[in-house]
Amino acid sequence: MAQLPSRWYFEHITPSLKLVSELTKILYVGDTKYQHVEILESVPFGRSLVLDGRTQSSEADEFVYHEALVQPGLVALEDPRTVFIAGGGEGATLREVLSHKGVELVTMVDLDQEVVEVCKEYLPRHHQGAFRDPRLKLFHQDAGKYLEDHADRYDFIVIDIPDPLEAGPAYLLYTQEFYGLVRRRLNPGGLLVVQTGPCGPMYHRDVFTPVHHTMSTALPTVAPYSAHVPCFGLLWSFILAGERYDPFSLSPAEIDARLAARCVRELRFYDGVAHYGLFNVPKYMRHGMAREGRVITKESPVFAP
């Protein structure tokens, strides 16, 4: 009889739902000034980054998350040259951005230098050397403070930060105030993308619909989309927003042509067809958005459960 697996990682999706994977290595465990950090390795997911007990991404499926987060926005823009990334410590969001050869400058602001150092060392398949690209300017401070203090504008702004946990540092970047600030830092025609938490049938009202409604009060166009990222255990949501954005203005073939012309990496999840899969979201998500009225502000935050 083969031995039963005995080491397990429990991802606490909610207090009543866990995704449990066979653990092979505990590569790093530590506390930074801001959060609890783990680099774990499991049979189904390979290496993953876990912050405050929540998986941020894993080797097995980070390509779904990071391509979905970055590629639709970059492809939609006519000629994106300057990109701002808030968070993204694994370096995989950066990797996706840099894969577009037209990008000339990436300003990445991740609060937690220690997380970035840990990812550099333990997650080489995530960043694939992106941190050494000369187009990168990397800062370690609060992304909101950076954007307040620097009036630079960008073609594309990516908010790749943890869910708005009550205990964590991220929740202030899910507010109306922050989205208003971001809007002022976009070049004309520029786009903003945000990862906005789970959006499956049971949990889309926890974070996704209030963030969607809040963004819609701060920016003229907001386009939600969803993808299944297995290590999160749930369907995941994203919102792309700007002065005007129509996710269906380019045909699948046009998207593929832009990728062929601009992107130097072979993508694994995203292309023209997958784009239409992303943005045609289930009816229950649209129903939830239509009935949502909460506006998230500093004074009335919303926390992930």
Smallest gap, in angstroms, from Cβ of residue 195 to a copy of itself? 16
Task: Answer yes or no: are the C-beta atoms of 54 and 162 closer than 8 Å.
Answer: yes
96 is a site residue for a copy of itself (CB under 8 A): no
9, 154, 156, 171: residue in contact with a copy of itself (rule CB under 8 A) = 9
Q: Could you say which residues in the range 11-30 bind a copy of itself, by CB under 8 A? A: 11-12, 14-26, 29
Q: Residue 119 gets which letter from DSSP?
A: H
Q: Is 155 tagged catalytic? A: no
Residues 6+ apart with CB under 8 A from 158: 69, 70, 73, 83, 84, 85, 86, 88, 93, 97, 192, 193
Per rule CB under 8 A, is residue 281 in the interface with a copy of itself?
Answer: yes
The least CB distance from residue 34 to a copy of itself, in Å, is 14
Catalytic position from the list 160, 163, 206, 271: 160
| 222 sits near a copy of itself (criterion: CB under 8 A) | no
Q: How many angstroms from the chain centroid is the CA of residue 60? A: 16
Residues paired with residue 223 on neighbouring β-strands, in sequence order:
240
Cβ atoms of residues 282 and 225 within 8 Å:
no
147 three-state secondary structure: helix
Eight-state DSSP code of residue 291: T
The binder of a copy of itself chosen from 104, 121, 152, 166 (CB under 8 A):
166
The residues that are catalytic are 160
Query: Contact residues for a copy of itself (CB under 8 A)?
Result: 1, 3-12, 14-26, 29, 36, 40, 42-44, 50, 52-53, 60-61, 63-64, 166-167, 200-202, 226-228, 230, 233-235, 252, 267-271, 273-284, 286-287
